[in-house]
Amino acid sequence: MTRWLSDDEQRTWRSYLAATQLVEEALDRQLQREARMPHTYYMILVALSEAPERSMRMSELARRAQASQSRLSHAVARLEERGWIERSPCASDRRGNVAVLTETGFQALAEAAPGHVEEVRRSLFDPLSPEQVRALDEICAAIRAAHEDTGPARS
C-alpha cells in the first residue's frame, strides 16, 4: 500500500526540491561565469585534490561525484582536453583506470575556489541562522546515513 505524503510532508518535499535546485543553479552559474566550468567538473577536481597523490580510481570517483560511470567518463574526457586531468591504467588492476589531477587542474581549482566558496556562503549559509545551519547539518547527516549501506532507493 502506498504511503502518500501528508500535507506537511508534501510542502516540505516541494520546498526542499526548490531550495536545492536554486542553490545548485546558483553554484553552476557562478562557476560557469567565473571559471568556465560546470559545478560537476568542480566537484570532480575537488575530489581528486583531496585524494592521496591527487589520484583516484574512476569507479571511486564516480561514486564520490554521484555520477554514473558513463557520465563521469564524459566529464573526465572534457577535463583531459583542458589538461586538468590525466587518465592512466590502475597499477593493481589493469582493467581499471585512475584519474590524476594535473598541476594545471589544481591551479584551475585554486583559482575557482574563492568565488565558489563565496557563492556557497551567499546561496546557502547567509540566509540561515547558526541554529538552522546546525539543524541542516543534522538533517543531511541523517539522510546520508540512511543511504550509506543501501544506496538510494531504486524502483
**pLDDT tops 80 at residue 49:** yes
Label residue 155 by pLDDT band (50, 70, 90). Answer: very low
Q: Would you say residue 9 lies in a domain?
A: no
What is the percentage of the chain residues whose pLDDT exceeds 70?
A: 95
Given this model, what pLDDT does residue 150 score? 62
**pLDDT tops 60 at residue 38:** yes
Label residue 54 by pLDDT band (50, 70, 90). Answer: very high
Q: Would you say residue 27 lies in a domain?
A: yes
Domain count, the chain: 1
Q: Would you say residue 49 lies in a domain?
A: yes
Q: Would you say residue 117 lies in a domain?
A: yes
Label residue 153 by pLDDT band (50, 70, 90). Answer: very low
Q: Would you say residue 4 lies in a domain?
A: no
Mean pLDDT of 87-104: 88
Domain with residue 133: its CATH number is 1.10.10.10
**Domain, as residue range, for 82:** 16-148
3-class secondary structure per residue, the chain: CCCCCCHHHHHHHHHHHHHHHHHHHHHHHHHHHHHCCCHHHHHHHHHHHHCHHHEEEHHHHHHHHCCCHHHHHHHHHHHHHCCCEEEEECCCCCCCEEEEECHHHHHHHHHHHHHHHHHHHHHHHCCCCHHHHHHHHHHHHHHHHHHHCCCCCCC
